[in-house]
Amino acid sequence: MKSMYWIAFKSIAIKEITRFSRIWVQTLVPPAITMTLYFIIFGNLIGSRIGDMGGVSYMAYIVPGLIMMSVITNSYSNVASSFFSSKMQRNIEELMVAPVPHYVLIGGYVSGGVSRGLAVGCIVSFVSLFFVDLKLANFGVIIATVLFTSILFSLGGLINAVFAKTFDDISIIPTFILTPLTYLGGVFYSLSLLPEFWQDVSKLNPIVYMVNAFRYGFLGVSDVSIFTSFSVMIGLIVLLYAIVWHLISKGIGLRS
């Protein structure tokens, strides 16, 4: 029985990875180009006037945040678009009636989002080497943070896809919620620059903890506790997984 579950998981995962890798010009190249523009504009042009931040150059300071931004966006969008497409094409109904647990279905789609997030993260990291010398203060923190973050936003994309009625609904959350939270998540600045009240408000933004944990892995500096950062990420993963499992088990948004 377990071997059957593994085959089902592997089949979904391979399908998801093949899906985005087959059109790599549309899925992997654009993030590299976008982040290169960020490096040039914010890093070289503006950063040279800002000076150091957190004891390092401004370019080095924003690179971890920009990598994390690309991981978040691509992990989310990959699962949201793929699952919604399966739902609209009625392919998801075949998976719903298959004799496999819901966690296999969830794990298969999430693995696709994580794979794309990690792939884009590696590409953006490679591009950043042309602009700054990346240092690794704690490699374990880097790996754990990027994995937890990509899993978290893959689950978020799955929730979005379950409730979406049209393809336009897929872009609402990234445009009006995800993008603002990312820009206000400490990617381009340190929370210490904000008044104390706005520092407290910023700490309500979960992306702050992911960006700072990732930055700590590279630079050894963070505006928030690393323990708190991982607690927030793990807690949100458990919460979103529970929501996804409930939605799929009840067939909410999946059954006509």
Alpha-carbon gap, residue 8 to 151, rounded angstroms: 19
Residue 236 is given by DSSP the state H
- In sequence order, what E strands does 29-121 have? 52-53, 56-57
Please write the tens of the pLDDT for every residue from 24-49.
999 999 988 998 888 888 766 676 67
Q: How many CA atoms lie within 13 Å of 101's alpha carbon, on the beta-carbon side? A: 9
DSSP output for 58-112: HHHHHHHHHHHHHHHHHHHHHHHHHHHHHHHTTHHHHHHHSSS-HHHHHHHHHHH
pLDDT recorded at residue 55 = 76
pTM of the model: 0.93
Q: So what's the pLDDT on residue 254?
A: 75
Q: Which amino acid is at 228?
A: T
Helices 226-250 & 206-219 angle (0-180, nearest 10)? 130
Q: How far apart are CA 133 and CA 151, in angstroms?
A: 28
Q: Is 56 helix (H, G, I), strand (E, B) or coil?
A: strand
Give the whole-angstrom CA distance, residue 16 versus residue 253: 21
Q: How many Å from the N-terminal Cα to the C-terminal Cα in the chain?
A: 30
pLDDT value of position 1: 64
Predicted local confidence at residue 48, as pLDDT? 66
What is the pLDDT, as a whole number, of residue 131? 85
Q: Kindly report the number of other CB atoms within 10 A of residue 143's CB atom.
A: 12
Give residue 113's pLDDT: 96
Q: What is the pLDDT of residue 47?
A: 66
pLDDT at 252: 81
Rounded to the nearest 10 degrees, the angle between the axes of helix 2-22 and helix 102-128 is 40
Residue 121 confidence (pLDDT): 95
Q: Is residue 1 helix, strand or coil?
A: coil
Contact by Cβ (8 Å): 84, 161: yes
Q: How many residues are listed for the chain in this entry?
A: 256
Contact 79, 106 (CB under 8 A): no
Which residues of the chain fall short of a pLDDT of 50?
none
